[in-house]
Amino acid sequence: MTIGLKVLSVLVVLSTLSLGCAGDSQSSEQAVIAATSAVAPNDQELATADEASSVESFFSPEILADGQPVAAYFEGKGSSELGPLVTAKDYSLIVASDSGPLKISIEDSDGRRVVYERPATEGTGSHQTGQLVGGDLSISVEASEEVSWLIVVTGELVAASEKLENADQGLSEPTPDASGPGSGYATLYIGHSFGTPFAERLEDFADNSGIVGHSQSIVFRGGNTNGNPEGLWNDEAARAEIQSILDQGKTDLLIMICCPADPRNPASYWGIPKWVDYALAQNPDTKFGLALPWLDSPAQYPDADEFANNWNMLHERLWLTVLSNLRSRYPDTHFLNIPHGAAAVELRNRFEAGTLTDVSALVGNKGSAIFRDDQGHPDDILHDLGTLIWLGLIYEVDLSIYPAGDSGKRISSYETDLREIAKSIVDEENQR
């Protein structure tokens, strides 16, 4: 069974997207297509770009919808479980198939029921259901492997209609909420090396910022395949190591890092809710930070504009939607966006504009560049700026002053005002 999922409300095409993860670059030909809160079982076989092209729609979703608003559409062959989705208002399903047998069931607040069934017949056909009540929605497809189908969900998804409202709600609450101002989190970072340096240095920054009680645990696995939430869940040793920390019930903040092997497919993000569910079962007050790094292999992007445009589209149109869906799915849980990839974007913009005098190369020897290797691992200036962003988003501190002490002396050694850059990025994120 293969399946491709696309959500038109957040359609993005990034022809040269590659996300940063040590030792496991993604193809530069991969594209970001969509994001919802869909969760795939561990053994679900997801369509690659090549596979998706082999089941191209006999109808386009727009033609099938005939002027009706399209919230999402699914295409594939054979049986599949689709969703969950959250529809913002009443909706209908439009189903097209090239043959039968085909049975479509939905599960919503009224329970599970069949809404369309086609017998074993040949030839293209389509059907639209009546109006269905908006809310939580999962779709079940029962079909033989030879049956190709396209399902359009009309109306509007909560992820599209309430994205900014949810982001404001999630990011405006005060972050440190333990014993009082300056109280710290028992923090656990799980992920790869495009997040580990910031987690490591965060403890030093917090200690030099008047934060009392911050503690830091790290479970590291190198490479995107091993270090993303899905890879860590599938790795029995890594999962046991992480769970042993969470089982103590003392973790206040769990930080994970993007991205799945195929960021185009929303179902690929199934690892995040797996960890969320497990952590909340051990401590219902756990907060979650989702870190978005820069695009890896930065030299493959010919200039700062292309590097920035690809990352900005990924952040604005995909990553924020993933966060919005999580906030809708877990309304009583705090999700924090940590887009430290913005640090690399800003530094490269300044470098190519000739205003970043602290470095002499995009990629170079330690201390002289933005990135210390071709893979895109952070050199000193990106390490320092990224950690400031983590500090400013996790704790409410004045970045024009903190961190003080040794950390402050290192930051102050740059001609570039890293504090001002970090504060600008943090302020922009908090105002969403």
Q: Does 3 map to a domain?
A: no
Q: What is the value of pTM for the model shown?
A: 0.62
Kindly state the DSSP code that residue 216 receives in the 8-state scheme: E
pLDDT of the chain along its 432 residues, tens only?
333 333 333 333 333 344 444 444 433 322 232 333 333 333 333 232 333 333 344 567 888 888 899 888 888 888 888 877 788 888 999 999 988 999 999 988 778 898 888 888 888 888 999 888 888 888 989 998 889 889 999 988 874 334 334 434 433 333 333 333 368 999 999 999 999 999 999 999 999 998 999 999 999 998 888 999 999 999 999 999 999 999 999 999 999 999 888 887 777 889 999 999 999 999 999 999 999 999 999 999 999 999 999 999 889 888 888 899 999 999 999 999 999 999 999 999 999 999 999 999 999 977 899 999 999 999 999 999 999 999 999 998 999 989 988 777 789 889 999 999 999 999 999 888
| Same structural domain, 266 and 336 | yes
Q: Does 255 map to a domain?
A: yes
What's the pLDDT score for residue 59?
64
| Same structural domain, 210 and 63 | no
Tokens encoding 314: 């990924």
| Same structural domain, 59 and 112 | yes
Do the Cβ atoms of 4 and 77 come closer than 8 Å?
no
Which residue in 320, 240, 330, 241 sits closest to 277, CA to CA? 330
What's the pLDDT score for residue 182?
63
Find the CATH number of the domain harbouring 324: 3.40.50.1110
- Domain boundary pick from 156, 178, 203: 156
- Domain boundary pick from 156, 189, 218: 156
Query: Which domain, by its residues, includes 169?
Result: 163-430
Distance of alpha carbon 160 from alpha carbon 91, whole angstroms? 15
| Same structural domain, 252 and 289 | yes
| Same structural domain, 90 and 140 | yes
Q: Does 90 map to a domain?
A: yes
Do the Cβ atoms of 170 and 336 come closer than 8 Å?
yes
| Same structural domain, 276 and 228 | yes
Find the CATH number of the domain harbouring 72: 2.60.120.260
CA dihedral 312, 268, 140, 94 (to 10 degrees): 30
What's the pLDDT score for residue 166?
41
Q: Does 25 map to a domain?
A: no
Provide the domain count of the chain: 2
Tokens encoding 94: 């439009």
| Same structural domain, 211 and 299 | yes
Do the Cβ atoms of 322 and 23 come closer than 8 Å?
no
- Domain boundary pick from 156, 188, 220: 156
| Same structural domain, 425 and 380 | yes
| Same structural domain, 98 and 198 | no
The number of beta carbons lying within 10 Å of the beta carbon of residue 180 is: 8
